Chains A and B, each alone.
Chain A
Amino acid sequence: MPIHEKSLIRPENLREQENLVIEGMDVSGHWSTFIESRAVTDYNEALQEEIAALPGGENIHRCWQCGSCTNACTVNAVNPEFNPRYWIYLIRLGMEDELLRDKDIIWQCVSCNKCTYACPRDVVPEGVMKATAHWLELKGHTPKSPSMLFDEVFAGQVIKTGRIEDGLVLRDFFKRTGQPLNQPWLVAMVLGLVKRFPLAYLIKLGIATIRPDRTRGWGRARDAINEYAEEVEAQNRKALGLGAKGAK
């Protein structure tokens, strides 16, 4: 698979030259300046430390930019702008503004771990992607991504009852993201389900969405996890120099 690197030609770097004559030759038209010379004064020197402080980002300092992660990446094959190697480079240099250009796609990492498999330096790029997405949200650069909303719906249900019920997760997630349930592909699936599943099992599934299965005696585990989760959240916010949750 070819390596798709990020395009260096950006719209703001295109210049229109109406009357450009060099050594007697007319070279008027659109020119890309590729990279304009400039003094970068907006480094965030704490960027690498902040990402490293969040779960998954711990090994970012080990990267030596071989690009195996991007070459192996599932999402990169679908969208060439998705480039873990480049983001790790920007984070390590502290180039926050450059990183923020891609803030709306970093959450799209599918956790296939092909990068982690290919990485010769144990950077765990998959973890770095999750830490970076988390950082973007905590810092308020992006709203909560659909992926994070799904994680919260899912984790909320696991912590509450000890188990997951597929239909309930789907319903809660669609509700939280404001999506209608009557999408053509979903309707086709449900109709298929009704047609093929044994009636007794359909009834069981229906009951499960109203009264989901629980792990018996889960209460103490639930309380312990909730208490720990609050601690972790406070720790993460502190590492990023943010106040307690709710306080601005």
Chain B
Amino acid sequence: MAQDMKHKKVAYYPGCALEGSGHAYNRSTKAVGKALGLDLVELKNWNCCGAMEVKNVDPKIQTYLSARNLSITEQMGFDTVMAPCNGCYHNLKKAEYDLAHDAGSKEVNSRLSQKAGHKTYEAGQVETIHALDWIKRSIGEDGIRARVKNSLKGLKIANYYGCMYTRPRHIFPEKDQGPGSESTAKPHFMDDILAAAGAENVDFPLKTACCGGAHTLSDSDTSTKLVLNILTAAEACGADVVATECPTCHTGLEMHQIRAEKVLGRKTNIKILYFTQLLGMALGLSAKTVGVNENFSDARPLLREKGLG
């Protein structure tokens, strides 16, 4: 039933967030992979991608950080690396673009790689994909429909993609390529996957709005306003749940949902879940297996009401 054997076994780059605050995303991604018979082989000795921060010290250092991870992917014999975190995914894509188009980045990467004592990564050797691409390409909507044990029927979802999954456009050459490809203006891969799992997606205009993740601690008041805007819009659209595909967005939504209540006195009741948690439960995994108990916004009563988990 698998559409694409190439993605049955891919290199896996969890990144720092998935080992910390995004633990539930790591757990649910692995559980979904196992349930679907997909192999994830973790990169050996990977390093942090630099997130949104190192580039402000110097962008070429950030490019090197991702180039090292791509070099490890290649050394392990893989031509595809999957990153579930938008930040990691974005930075691997950006490094790929810069190494192909910017002589300065290429030169610094080569110099740092030599000094660090590993093979210099050259553009074009490894393709970076997101967890959404991984599910779409390996199993696809038909594959999901055939495997759903516990349909998400009756659950209304606002799909939230954030910034780093689609912007800037030029580092995602495979997007905006017509039917079947992802759209940078109105992404739909998560919508497609969750619809196949039985959910009802609401028409959500803030799919790619910013949650202020880069300044979540350094300018918390701005981030709280941005998150409150996203959550109230999702509620106004009639959603029960905001589905996320990035640990920084997810943690930001959860943290500022609490902060909006404590600081601004604005309470929102919408629940925030990783798309892998929702997909996992549709595939018959328990709420505990996909780490729903680790989320701050407690979705368990809602899920019980809908007969899930």
Question: Which residues from chain A sit less than 8 Å from chain B, CB to CB?
Answer: 55-56, 74-75, 78-79, 108, 110-114, 116-117, 124, 130, 134, 145-152, 154-155, 158-159, 162-167, 170, 173-174, 177, 184-185, 188-189, 192-193, 196-198, 201, 205, 208, 213, 215-218, 220-221, 223-225, 227-229, 232
Mostly, the A contact residues are: helix
Q: Given known contacts A110-B226, A232-B58, what 9 new A-B pairs fall within 8 Å (CB)?
A: A55-B59, A110-B215, A116-B167, A147-B214, A151-B53, A167-B20, A215-B47, A223-B115, A228-B60
Can you list 23 A-B contacts with CB-CB less than 8 angstroms, sorted by A residue number?
A: A108-B222, A110-B214, A110-B215, A110-B219, A116-B167, A117-B184, A130-B55, A134-B56, A150-B53, A155-B50, A155-B54, A155-B57, A155-B61, A164-B51, A165-B16, A184-B263, A185-B261, A189-B296, A205-B20, A217-B45, A220-B115, A227-B115, A229-B61
- CA gap between A173 and B218 in the complex, in Å: 9
Per-position binary interface string of chain B over residues 213-230, scored 1 when its CB falls under 8 Å from any chain A CB and 0 otherwise: 111011100110110000
**What residues on B are CB-neighbors of A205 within 8 Å?**
20
**What residues on B are CB-neighbors of A74 within 8 Å?**
209-210, 212, 226
Taking a contact as CB atoms under 8 Å apart, the answer to whether A228 and B218 are in contact is no
**What residues on A are CB-neighbors of B124 within 8 Å?**
none
Total number of A-B contacts with CB less than 8 angstroms?
Answer: 175
Taking a contact as CB atoms under 8 Å apart, the answer to whether A151 and B57 are in contact is yes
Is there a chain A Cβ closer than 8 Å to B131's Cβ?
A: no
Taking a contact as CB atoms under 8 Å apart, the answer to whether B263 and A185 are in contact is yes
Taking a contact as CB atoms under 8 Å apart, the answer to whether A215 and B116 are in contact is no
Is there a chain A Cβ closer than 8 Å to B154's Cβ?
A: no
Asked whether A185 and B17 contact (CB < 8 A) given A216-B45, A225-B64, A229-B61, the answer is: no
Taking a contact as CB atoms under 8 Å apart, the answer to whether A225 and B215 are in contact is no
Taking a contact as CB atoms under 8 Å apart, the answer to whether A116 and B168 are in contact is yes
Tell me the smallest distance from the CB of A75 to a CB of chain B, in Å: 7
Taking a contact as CB atoms under 8 Å apart, the answer to whether A225 and B209 are in contact is no
Please tell me the number of chain B residues within 8 Å of chain A, measured between CB atoms: 61
Taking a contact as CB atoms under 8 Å apart, the answer to whether B115 and A224 are in contact is yes
Per-position binary interface string of chain B over residues 117-130, scored 1 when its CB falls under 8 Å from any chain A CB and 0 otherwise: 10000000000000
**What residues on A are CB-neighbors of B64 within 8 Å?**
225
Residue of B nearest to A236 (CB): B58
Per-position binary interface string of chain B over residues 27-67, scored 1 when its CB falls under 8 Å from any chain A CB and 0 otherwise: 00000000000000000011110111111111111001100
Taking a contact as CB atoms under 8 Å apart, the answer to whether B65 and A158 are in contact is yes
Tell me the smallest distance from the CB of B189 to a CB of chain A, in Å: 18
- CA gap between A208 and B217 in the complex, in Å: 20
- CA gap between A213 and B293 in the complex, in Å: 24
Residue of A nearest to B220 (CB): A185
Asked whether A110 and B218 contact (CB < 8 A) given A74-B226, A155-B53, A220-B117, the answer is: no
Tell me the smallest distance from the CB of B104 to a CB of chain A, in Å: 10
- CA gap between A208 and B23 in the complex, in Å: 13
Taking a contact as CB atoms under 8 Å apart, the answer to whether B53 and A154 are in contact is yes
**What residues on A are CB-neighbors of B112 within 8 Å?**
221, 224-225, 228
**What residues on A are CB-neighbors of B59 within 8 Å?**
55-56
Asked whether A166 and B48 contact (CB < 8 A) given A108-B222, A173-B217, A185-B258, the answer is: no
